[in-house]
Amino acid sequence: KSIIGSVAEDQTGRAGIELIYDDVLTGTPGELTYERARGGGTIAAAGEHRVPAVPGSDVVLTLDRALQYETERVLAEQVDAMDADGGMVVISKPETGEILSLANITRNTDGEIITAGANRAVIDVFEPGSVNKVITIAAALEEGIVEPGTELVVPDHLPVADHVFGDDHDHPTMPMTVTDILAKSSNVGTIMIGQDLGKERIDRYLREFGFGHKPGLGFRNETPGILLPPEDWSGTSIGSIPIGQGIAVSAMQMLSAYNVIANDGVFVPPRLVEATVGPDGE
């Protein structure tokens, strides 16, 4: 339901694919004109005029039916096991952007686990946290500021403006390569790299990875996420944003960003529609 959507009583699309492709799916209604006698019967001699209806086109989705079913089943099991309010999963091909599975699971007011009516993977946002570090480090590599083997001397705490950022465990000040910083998810090491990048370049790369604008699937209330322009950053933003705090993204945006890495650095927008097939089969 969160993908296909629904139609109103007049059969026009109200949500989801039914709304996005309403003009393609609807077709053209037919018409029959004839004369009717006072008693209600038709006047045979008067003839009639028919305009045949033209069927709408079919919309072919990129979803894999078996994978969609299994994704929803496993996700529902995990929502139950974790006693969660809901969950979402998106599976896609990085090189083409084709979405193979898009599952949204929630609980209703009675606590029952059901398929969500809203496509939460494109309308809900969350702070990405540490998964955002790959963008900061990719930006530094692309700009030539560091290489994978570059060593930084990394403490376990780092003051930035009026806040002290720390790693998730205490450790002595120690040399760490950029590869180690990413593999160990060091907040401090990533912030140090972010400081060398500067806010303008961090912002530019976040946007080039797909943050700050809608994924473009066309769903109602699709979110661009929350990404402050550099001029609105606070003093601590150069510490928080490189490690994925102080920004918000949708699940679809986060997946698209990682697809850039999987696709050798090329951003391919997500897509849900493979083709439309007209009544003539084209």
Residues marked active site are found at 130
Asked whether 213 and 186 are in contact (CB, 8 A), the reply is: no
Helix axes 187-197, 133-142, angle to 10 degrees: 40
Sign of CA dihedral 183, 187, 192, 193: positive
82: helix, strand or coil: coil
244 near 128, Cβ under 8 Å?
A: yes
DSSP E strand boundaries for the chain:
6-7, 13-15, 31-34, 48-51, 58-61, 86-92, 99-107, 113-115, 151-154, 157-160, 163-166, 174-177, 273-277
